[in-house]
Structure 1
Amino acid sequence: MNSTVIGTSSSDLLAKARGVFTICPTPFADDGSLDLTSIASLVAFQIEAGVTGLAILGFLGEAHKLSQAERTQVITAFVKQAGGRVPVWVGVRALGIAGAIEQAREAEALGAEAVFAAPMDKASDAQQFDYYQQLARAVRIPVVIHDFPDSFGTEISAELVARLGREGGVGMIKMEEPPVGQKISKILNLADGSMRVFGGLGGVYFLEELQRGAVGTMTGFAFPEILVRIHAQFAAGDLAGAAATFDRYCPLIRYEFQPKIGLALRKYTYQKRGVIASAEIRSPGMRIDARTARELEATVARVGLSLEHRGVFAIV
């Protein structure tokens, strides 16, 4: 269910956030135009898979390839299709504070329940702290730090993250800087209960993230029902079951999360599963070739799944 309640503070909302938030791709038609119909089928699929929430316009969502008008259309469509059944969180990335605040306020006005914000480029810790603090003060919904230095080129120290939790009004991070286990532990130790961590990185380290204290994951793995099952087993105290599920599907998780072509692999998977109509990605972006598609399909089959199957798999 949608967790927004009149009078509920942003810290209360973050305190309830856990599980699997799928980083959704932005569907395009074969001609590169927005495919709003596929947003509807993508949302329906994610909810059927049991995800806790949807995260849109992140790096996987090709936000940097959209016009402002398209960005508004995408947020509106996802929020409408979610219909309050699950929260929608929106990515924010801008060159400065004013642009980030503008994006965050638009997301809030359109019904988003949180924003996850990339850091500013080439900024000091003091500047980053000011940036995130001002962003948090500018909106009523929670602000989540998006820590992904491999894509953003900016590292956010554990000390800065912890200070933002204690003093900056920012209580959650989507943490994607290896070695993930060590950084999660350091953040949680320094933050003294003021910061909650979501993992990412395709789910490659999901089990270890949970064991280190992460409350869930925000990633775009195109078999979200697998991640949902791992989290459910772990949350129920079935550590051996969670590990067995993770180990069984790790070859697929690893293969899909390949640098440069991960987005193309995910869109291909969603198209083959009947979730979106086209695997189109906008330039710049690397496509997969026929041999790579066969490799992906072979990996899917090796873990006991099929891209011909429609609907959600029952993961046991």
Structure 2
Amino acid sequence: MVDAPSVHGVYTICPTPFTDDMSVDVQSIRQLTDFLIESGVTGLAILGFLGELHKLSDQERRLVAKTFIDHAAGRVPVWVGVRALGIAGAIEQAQDAQSLGASAVFAAPLDGASDALLYDYYRTLADSVKIPVVIHDFPDSFGTEVKPEVIAGLAQSGGVSMIKMEEPPVGQKISKIIELAGSSPVSIFGGLGGVYFLEELQRGAIGTMTGFAFPEILVAIYEKFASGDVQGAAAVFDKYCPLIRYEFQPKIGLALRKYVYQRRGAISSQAIRSPGMRIDGTTIAELDAIVRRVGLSYEGNGPSILRNYS
């Protein structure tokens, strides 16, 4: 078990690029890594739900993790997702990520687990590695709720004090976790596509972990808020909220993000493994129109694309 480091900011949940024949696209992983680092993100989070972890073989999972971590080469931390049917599988994945050089792991809860089992699961997982364990709380996808009482208890016991929290209403849950944790430090990251990012920060979140494919926008919101310019953060959020909202559509969000990343030159193919919904021409036209409407294009990368956000 290890104390959580002082972390904050924007950790992009990365998609796993595939070639058109559905094999892992190693070159696109390298392109995407460089692209995201140039966009100004704090770190990369790989092999989450968006990363199609559940569609990869163990060998592919290791290949994806190793390629991201090796190519990042310490420029930013890389956090690796863990999702298993039992504690033994989760420990194996976490230890494997650690051996490859991951800076932390973010772990989905066990299916249908009780509060007591979830507490033991995260404590046991944290005891098995020397890197931080981040709780991934996303009931809509995982079917298991990690209650504020469990989260606060883990923070108070030491060693598990970071969470990626994605259970609406997010504001109330963030406040409840902080209240129950008391004097014990707990680091809360938002998610959900950035749809509630401003409110999450106002409630006490220290950043976000999400897959929004224009991460420069989230970086700008965070940096303004962290500097005390809440009005400026709100202006950026309000301007780009139509795009944030549209891109975070249930069932097709991954397809939208891979389309954007391909258009932006970060990956070579929009390929998604089954099961997974694709987007049609009308949807693409709608997205393209929103990108134009908020004053963006698919050209360029980094903070300079947001010169006219105010």
Whether the TM-score (by the shorter chain) exceeds 0.5 is: yes
Contact kept in structure 2, 1:21 and 1:51, CA below 8 Å: yes
Contact kept in structure 2, 1:147 and 1:176, CA below 8 Å: yes
Task: Give the C-alpha shift of residue 310 in structure 1.
Answer: 3.2
Task: Give the C-alpha shift of residue 196 in structure 1.
Answer: 1.0
Matched, 1:138 2:159: no
Kindly provide the amino acid, as one letter, of the partner of residue 79 in structure 1.
Answer: I
**1:123 matched residue in structure 2:** 113
Q: 283, 293, 296: which is aligned to 1:292?
A: 283
Please identify, of 298-307 and 256-265, the stretch whose mean Cα deviation from structure 2 is larger: 298-307
Contact kept in structure 1, 2:155 and 2:185, CA below 8 Å: yes
**1:30 matched residue in structure 2:** 20
Q: 228, 232, 243: which is aligned to 2:219?
A: 228
Q: 49, 61, 81: which is aligned to 2:39?
A: 49
Contact kept in structure 1, 2:40 and 2:303, CA below 8 Å: no
Query: 1:170-249 to 2 correspondence within 5 Å?
Result: 170-192=160-182, 193-249=184-240
Please identify, of 167-176 and 177-186, the stretch whose mean Cα deviation from structure 2 is larger: 167-176
Structure 1: distance between partners of 2:249 and 2:157: 37
Query: 1:59-98 to 2 correspondence within 5 Å?
Result: 59-98=49-88
Secondary structure at the aligned position of 1:16 is classed as: coil
Aligned residues: 305
Runs of 4+ in 1 over 4 A off after TM superposition: none
Kindly provide the amino acid, as one letter, of the partner of residue 119 in structure 2.
Answer: F
Contact kept in structure 2, 1:162 and 1:194, CA below 8 Å: no
Secondary structure at the aligned position of 1:84 is classed as: coil
Task: Give the C-alpha shift of residue 56 in structure 1.
Answer: 0.2
Matched, 1:259 2:237: no
Structure 2: distance between partners of 1:204 and 1:218: 12
Structure 2: distance between partners of 1:38 and 1:10: 33
TM-score (norm 1): 0.95
Contact kept in structure 1, 2:40 and 2:302, CA below 8 Å: no
Contact kept in structure 1, 2:106 and 2:133, CA below 8 Å: yes
CA displacement, residues 195-234 of structure 1 (integer Å, 9 cap, x when unaligned):
1100000000000000000000000000000000000000
Task: Give the C-alpha shift of residue 306 in structure 1.
Answer: 1.1
CA displacement, residues 60-98 of structure 1 (integer Å, 9 cap, x when unaligned):
000000000000000000001100010000000000100
Structure 1 residue runs of 5 or longer lacking an equivalent are 1-8
Structure 2: distance between partners of 1:47 and 1:222: 13
Structure 2: distance between partners of 1:300 and 1:10: 42
Task: Give the C-alpha shift of residue 312 in structure 1.
Answer: 2.9
**2:104 matched residue in structure 1:** 114
Contact kept in structure 1, 2:104 and 2:131, CA below 8 Å: yes
Kindly provide the amino acid, as one letter, of the partner of residue 246 in structure 1.
Answer: F
Secondary structure at the aligned position of 2:300 is classed as: coil
TM-score (norm 2): 0.97
Kindly provide the amino acid, as one letter, of the partner of residue 148 in structure 2.
Answer: A
Structure 2 residue runs of 5 or longer lacking an equivalent are none
Structure 1: distance between partners of 2:158 and 2:222: 29
Contact kept in structure 1, 2:14 and 2:211, CA below 8 Å: yes
Kindly provide the amino acid, as one letter, of the partner of residue 232 in structure 2.
Answer: G
Q: Percent identity?
A: 68
**2:154 matched residue in structure 1:** 164
